[in-house]
Amino acid sequence: DTGVSQDPRHKITKRGQNVTFRCDPISEHNRLYWYRQTLGQGPEFLTYFQNEAQLEKSRLLSDRFSAERPKGSFSTLEIQRTEQGDSAMYLCASSLAYRDGYTFGSGTRLTVV
């Protein structure tokens, strides 16, 4: 297994555009998480999937954000009408159980100009 993969690694977009990120978790992990991290901060929880079900969303996840995990495999995170405040590193992680350590991907660095 090659670990958690995220694509793209970097994305520069103009304000108001839509962007979509992809995460491929470790295949046997049924839990998948999205976090956002800004400079000098720890990762902030955005949303959590168990298999294909989205079981929890943070209040940080505004209506412009949507995440899916069709068939309980890869996941996508879409941001509509991007704003400069959306600039951050978006991290995906997977695990077998919440007590288990997370395996993180390398993240997608989003810059909104």
Q: Which residues bind other proteins (CB under 8 A)?
A: 4, 33, 35, 40-45, 48, 55-56, 91, 93, 98-99, 101-107, 109
The minimum distance between CB 94 and other proteins, in angstroms, equals: 11
User: What proportions of the chain, in percent to the nearest 5, are helix, strand and coil?
Assistant: 5, 50, 45
Q: How far is the CB of 35 from other proteins (least distance, A)?
A: 8
Q: Phi and psi of 45, rounded to 5°? A: -65, 135
Query: Which of 29/80 has CB closer to other proteins?
Result: 29
In total, the chain counts a number of residues equal to: 113
Least distance to other proteins from the beta carbon of 111, Å? 13
Indicate the residue type of 109: R
